[in-house]
Amino acid sequence: MKLPRILILASLLFGAGLISQAAHHEKGFKPLFDGKTLDGWRVVGGTGKFKAEDGMIVGYGENVKGNTFLRTDRTYTDFDLRFSYKREHGNSGMMFRALQRPGENGRVNGYQCEHGNKPERAWSGGIYDEARRGWMQPHATDLRSQAAFTKQGQRIINQEQWNDVRILCEGNITKIWFNGELRVHFKDTDKEHNTLEGFFGLQVHSGDKSLVSWKNLRIKELK
């Protein structure tokens, strides 16, 4: 018996979806996002918005006042975090081992993996110390390192398309891979600011317009 063409196409698409899910099933990893709701997360900071849609977390807003973060309720120490993101409008980032200052809506601060909106600079995958020390890698004063970081970024970043990111934190050492290539190897020796535990936070940056999506967020805790 011949199957209708639409059923054959649906079967192929469904199979491709299962293969895609299986490709992200690494040993010891657990989803950080259930794919349907924002349970286990909460919004802090400015006026940006977040929603769960089609297996993604979408951050968005217009005329956003104040940097806004969708943060995990839980905190984490050493981990291997993997995810994909697509930034279409505005600047963004993934906070990790982040902190929040005291108060009902205290300022989020700490390490951020940059999701940049400046192709000419191309610093996505770098570490920005939000509301604390600024650029850590490339360092704000190291012009030679900045030039090399830009050159690599212009080669590997998919502007306004999906990018794969891996953040590995063990002790005071952070490594970041961007689309399969090592981007950062950072050792924080600043005893005042070296943060060994904190939450994850997805950023909607203040500004005229923001639209950023994340998917396949998964984590392996190392201790």
pTM: 0.88
In CATH terms, 29-221 corresponds, of 3.90.320.10, 2.60.120.560, 3.90.180.10, 3.30.70.890, to: 2.60.120.560
Q: How far is CA 85 from CA 36, 65, 73, 179, 203, in A?
A: 17, 23, 21, 11, 12
Asked whether the beta carbons of 72 and 112 are under 8 A apart, the reply is no
Domain ranges of the chain: 29-221
Tokens found for residue 185:
């190897």
pLDDT in tens, the chain (223 residues): 444 454 334 443 443 343 335 334 699 999 999 999 999 999 999 999 999 999 999 999 999 999 999 999 999 999 999 999 999 999 999 999 999 999 889 999 999 999 999 999 999 999 999 999 999 999 999 999 999 999 999 999 999 999 999 999 999 999 999 999 999 999 999 999 999 999 999 999 999 999 999 999 999 999 7
Closest by CA to 151, choosing from 134, 133, 138, is 138
